[in-house]
Chains A and B, each alone.
Chain A
Amino acid sequence: MKRFLLFLPLLIAVVLGVVLFAGIGKDPTKLESALIGKPVPAFNLEDLNTPETQLNETLFKGKVQLLNVWGTWCPACRDEHDDLMWLAEEQGVSIVGLNYKDNRDDALVWLDRLGNPYSTSIYDPRGTLGFDLGVYGAPETFVIDEQGVVRYRHVGVVNEKIWQETLLPVINDIRENG
């Protein structure tokens, strides 16, 4: 018994070491979305390209799509844009854009100059849908299944590596297992 007590501090140190080591490399700024497994919140917002068109959550019914939150004020969104173009054009991925807290004219100029990877663009100048989605910065990208349920959220830039290693497996899993 006494022998065991002698090794107790070592045991505690090892357990603590394992727990702390598991946390190394995890980015603490990337939070799990509270919305995983829940439907996209109800909304009623204008289409970015055609202000007279009203969009709502039924936009996400019927096929697996990405929802990409962006704004012209966000430098990382500029980094990400070419990869989104690649995803839409080369990979045939359907991406819905959420133009977040932005100015319509700026956004349209941006899409005109850099190309438009979005099948539909939601215009959210006051960030109301963004708020309901729990968006706390841009860019953020959600994977949404055919039922309009949020399955995954990626905080930060999407690039080929993130697509191959993170988003595509999630989409394949939805397609295979529903």
Chain B
Amino acid sequence: MVRFALVAVLLLLAPMASAQVADVYNFETTQQEQRFQDLIAELRCPKCQNQNIADSNSPISKDMRAEVYRRMRAGESNDEIVDALVNRFGEFILYRPQVEKRTILLWATPAIAVLGGLLVVIGVIVRSRRQTDETPELTAEEKARVAKILAEDDQDNRA
């Protein structure tokens, strides 16, 4: 009986533990709620910097969530909502900055790094190929010498 009560209490508490943000917004459909959650997870808090506005409890994040909700309610598209916030707080709040001349290097860095690594690997392979190609075969005389040395070694071990 005690165990049953404990489980019941834990089950009741579980949703509380998973709720990150205290303020409550009403949505008509689960898709809308998902859209809201996706949007606030994509926006960075300008005050706390290493948190998105979904996780942050700072007043500015609260205001930003309210603004996202208000604009969603007003029927704005995701791009319109994000633009409205960028116009106020700057591009800093985007975890994924827009692709443009100024940010192209940022976007290209992973590709450049992979390409660089690939070039190094290719270089290593080509070089090792060339080296094996260049290694000359042993002459008959050298082979005889190797056999002799190995044979002597064998005898030494046995002795």
Q: Chain A interface (Cβ within 8 Å of chain B)?
A: 28-29, 31-35, 101, 127, 131-137
9 A-B pairs with least C-beta separation: A34-B90, A134-B88, A136-B46, A136-B60, A136-B47, A134-B89, A31-B92, A131-B63, A137-B47
Main secondary structure of the interface of A (DSSP, over half): loop
> Which chain B residue lies CB-closest to A38?
B87
B152 at the interface (CB under 8 A from A): no
Residue among A29, A32, A131 making CB contact with B90, cutoff 8 Å: A32
Partner of B88 from A28, A32, A101, A132 at Cβ < 8 Å: A132
B residues contacting A by CB (< 8 A) are 46-47, 49, 59-60, 63, 67, 86-92
Pair B47/A34 contact, Cβ less than 8 Å: no
Shortest beta-carbon distance, B58 to chain A, in Å? 8
- Contact between B63 and A127 (Cβ–Cβ < 8 Å)? yes
Nearest Cβ on chain A to B40's Cβ, whole angstroms: 16
Inter-chain contact B60/A137, CB cutoff 8 Å: yes
- B50, closest chain A residue (CB): A28
Given A131-B67, A136-B46, the answer on whether A34 and B89 have CB atoms closer than 8 Å is yes
* 27 chain-A/chain-B pairs, Cβ below 8 angstroms: A28-B49, A29-B47, A29-B49, A31-B46, A31-B89, A31-B92, A32-B90, A33-B90, A34-B86, A34-B87, A34-B89, A34-B90, A34-B91, A35-B88, A101-B59, A127-B59, A127-B63, A131-B67, A132-B88, A133-B88, A134-B46, A134-B89, A134-B90, A135-B60, A136-B46, A136-B47, A137-B60
